[in-house]
A and B are shown apart, each in its own frame.
Chain A
Amino acid sequence: MLEIKNLHVSVDGKEILKGLNLSVGAGEMHAIMGPNGSGKSTLSYVIAGREGYDITGGRIVFQGEDLTGMEPEVRAAKGLFLAFQYPVEIPGVPNTTFLKEALNAIRRYRGEDELDAMQFVKMMREKTKELGISDDMLKRAVNAGFSGGEKKRNEILQMAVLKPTLAVLDETDSGLDIDALKIVAEGVNKLRSPDRSMLLITHYQRLLDYIVPDKVHVLAHGKIQRSGGKELAMELEEKGYAEFGEAAA
């Protein structure tokens, strides 16, 4: 599904990722954990294709295709999704309009028929019901005035509508209290499926109490330092990242 080989990425001329390797199989849930400044967000942005994140070496291969130089909207059409750490507020643009434009743009790209208003509304009703999200959120402008929890739930809703084959969840737990965290985690779990891989990027272990990964990787100093099963997360919870900080210093 996703193969990252010896990836080097620079931002403003400064190298952040320094030879990162990662392999995520179909339907797998991987967690990437790491201290602040380790390159976690850089990894999520470079997968999604944000400008300013320059690949200086190595490559990212998604479903057999090299993503280098591919526009973000094309990546989305090919089944990639990034749930933002800080979802952006877009006042004046209704959530439904935004979702419909996004979904239909993706369908157009894939040569599928666009959904008309009726079909779209019907589909949205199913999704909001499935995720326990109120219709009110659809009428409001994209993330405008949303609470932290609402913003994250909106990201999950978008994922449900766009149905990606690979979802990267960047610090989805940040800024959430425990109740909001549970709701968001529940949404993520509902969207797990054998043909959808997920990459969960987080600083804290607590998210993994609710979303159980198949594999855990520790990212520090621009590289995966260690990989293991979910027990690795428990170990980090006890010992912290000090070991990796010192090892690379």
Chain B
Amino acid sequence: MSSASPTNLSFVDGFDAAGAALPGAELKWLKTLRQSGFERFNDQGLPSSKLESWKYTRLRSLEDTKFLPVTDEDAVASVDLVPSVLPASDSRTRLVFVNGRMRPELWVDGDLPDGVSVECLRDMLTRGADWTEDYLGKIAHADIGNQALLELNTAMMDSGFVLKVEPGVKVEQLIEVVFIGGLTKHPVAYFPRNLMVLGKGAEATVVKHHVGMGVGAYFANSVSEIDVGEGAILRNYMVQAEAKDATHLSTVHVRVARDATYESFNLALGGRLSRNEVNIRLEGTGAHASLNGAFLMRGSEHCDNTTQIDHLSPHTTSREVFKGVLDDQSRAVFQGRLVVHKGAQKTDGHQLCKTLLLSTGAEIDVKPELEIYADDVKCSHGATTGQIDETALFYLRSRGIPEALARNLLVQSFLGEALDEIKSEEVRQAFTDKVLHWLPAACFLSEEWRGE
């Protein structure tokens, strides 16, 4: 395992030096938390492909790059226009991070109702916001195999946002968070840690945009810890459009209380290497998770969606729909694990992953797993891989539609089933636009596509 030694990562080598610069250095509990993260990461090193859950995604390329911590200079890179997924709006709260640092001048204060706060984690830790002690490192857990990347983030967490919604408060507006990477002279690494806490009966929708600007390599190791209180609803949407040479490894841990709903959609559109690992614990009776996504890859991009949903209580439900479109030599991985624990009777869990291969060089590895320890449950999974339907293609062309546009229409048709899972109309349209922009530009569809 010497190849996985953390000393190959220069930014970890400089942990002590960086330690003083990390936010909240004077908080004792945080110091302990960081230390334990550091030690556990040191013990494990970067996950190797010998691990079952990392069989198809190799991190060796990370060890060949000398990443440096983000400097003040990196963080003030000029951003003329914030690359937003959503149409511009003054009445929508927006936070913008550049290479992991919050940029106050790009902040849009959307006049959030009382009882809702969105803040930069760095500021909160610097101020010593003690309530976060009850959540940070407490929602995320390592009971599910290797969590070295979580540990690394715990040791290094230097940015990210904290959303807190008090009980009973329903936030109508979308809350947008933009993470811009790139624009640095050297490869940099940064470690966003996001925390979302929704009180009983609260409701909120978050749209995250991870986007690369300029060229060059960077490494984003992000972690989100999410607590959805009793009867609360959180919609957590993400577009991942990192730069061509970027690596983005994301770990999400969610716990969902009684009668609460967690809905997410991850639209992955880029990056040399990306992995989104989501672990959801349906803890209370009647808890529901809807975990969906689409991945569109080309060139030699690699995208990994690894999910685990734990049904821990009776009458919990989950639905998972992932759709992938792979061109050129791109590769994707889908690992979906569904565990029904003892006593979680009347669980209803369904999982589906469908992939469209646009080239013979593209490849997908799909690994669905069902683990059931209760006897009165309804669970299913399905996975298919195929090519563009030649009959459908001929049908469209026989009506006069040029081949390239016909192919686009069929890709769009294929992705529709996943995009339809997005409950927010505004977000669904915005994400559909993103998909349209990904498609070969020569044959764009007219705008009316959406309205009709």
Contacts and interface: CB of A to CB of B under 8 A. Distances in A.
Interface in A46-90: 48-51, 71-73, 75-77, 81-82, 84, 87-88, 90
Interface size range of chain B in the complex? 20 to 34
A105 B400 contact: yes
Given A91-B417, A96-B452, A139-B452, A101 B401 contact: yes
- Closest CB pairs A-B (n = 3): A92-B416, A76-B400, A102-B399
A90 B400 contact: no
Given A76-B398, A77-B400, A103-B400, A93 B413 contact: yes
Contacts of B395: 84, 87-88, 90
Count chain A CB atoms within 10 A of each CB in B398, B400, B405 and give the residue with the most.
B400
B110 to A, nearest CB: 32
Contacts, number: 90
Given A117-B448, A139-B452, A71 B413 contact: no
Nearest to A89: B392
A101 B405 contact: yes
Contacts of A98: 396, 399, 401, 409
Interface size range of chain A in the complex? 35 or more
Interface of A: 48-51, 71-73, 75-77, 81-82, 84, 87-88, 90-94, 96-98, 100-103, 105-106, 109, 117, 139, 141, 158, 162
B266 to A, nearest CB: 19
Count chain B CB atoms within 10 A of each CB in A51, A76, A84, A93 and give the residue with the most.
A93
Given A51-B394, A88-B391, A158 B399 contact: yes
A102 B400 contact: yes
Interface in B385-433: 389-392, 394-403, 405-406, 409-410, 412-417, 420
Nearest to B402: A73
Given A92-B416, A97-B452, A162-B399, A72 B409 contact: no
B131 interface: no
Contacts of A141: 413
Contacts of B446: 100-101
B215 interface: no
Contacts of B389: 88
A94 B451 CA distance: 10
